[in-house]
Amino acid sequence: MSIFGKTKKAEVKKDATATPPAVEKDSTPAISSDSSHVLLNPRITEKSTWHSAQGVYVFDVAVNSNKQQISRAIRAIYKVTPRKIRIVTVPSKSKRSARTGKLGVKGGGKKAYVYLKKGETINLS
């Protein structure tokens, strides 16, 4: 009927060799398999088709993405390495509705100019 017990239990000693060795991590970050949320779609306009002849491709990208994420997404999806990436913020604009006459907002966003090395191409069709 002793709650705390009269005798002391023997302590179990742990071996230091029983723990598994530490695993080293790679210094390069893993490419996310879900890169589709970074690149929304290619931007097909007259200006972008002219740029594609010079090796520059234009994409609509997520607003919270940065150059490193865009570069990883291009490498993962299109299997080419970008030489340079430029990001432009597209401002939102006020537009009047033709049907109701009320003022609405045309959403802005972000677009990225992806520069490739000479000889590398991306098939956007």
Query: For the segment 8-62, what is each residue's pLDDT rounded down to a tens digit?
Result: 666 666 665 656 666 665 544 455 556 789 999 999 999 999 999 999 999 999 9
Beta-bridge partners for 77: none
70-102 pLDDT tens trace: 999 999 999 999 999 999 999 999 999 999 999
Q: Hey, where are the domains in the chain?
A: 34-115
First to last CA, the chain: 82
Q: Tokens 């990001």 — which residue?
A: 87
User: Strand, helix or coil at 19?
Assistant: coil
Q: Which CATH number fits domain 34-115: 1.10.3720.10, 3.90.1150.10, 3.30.70.330, 3.30.10.20?
A: 3.30.70.330
- The answer to whether residues 87 and 96 touch, using CB atoms and an 8 Å cutoff, is no
Q: Looking at the predicted structure, is the pLDDT value of residue 119 above 50?
A: yes
Alpha-carbon span 67 to 75, nearest angstrom = 12
Token pair, residue 86, equals 């430029």
pTM summary value: 0.68
Cβ-proximal residues to 105 (8 Å cutoff; 6+ apart), any chain: 92, 93, 94, 95
- The confidence band for 125, taking pLDDT boundaries of 50, 70 and 90, is confident
- The answer to whether residues 43 and 60 touch, using CB atoms and an 8 Å cutoff, is yes
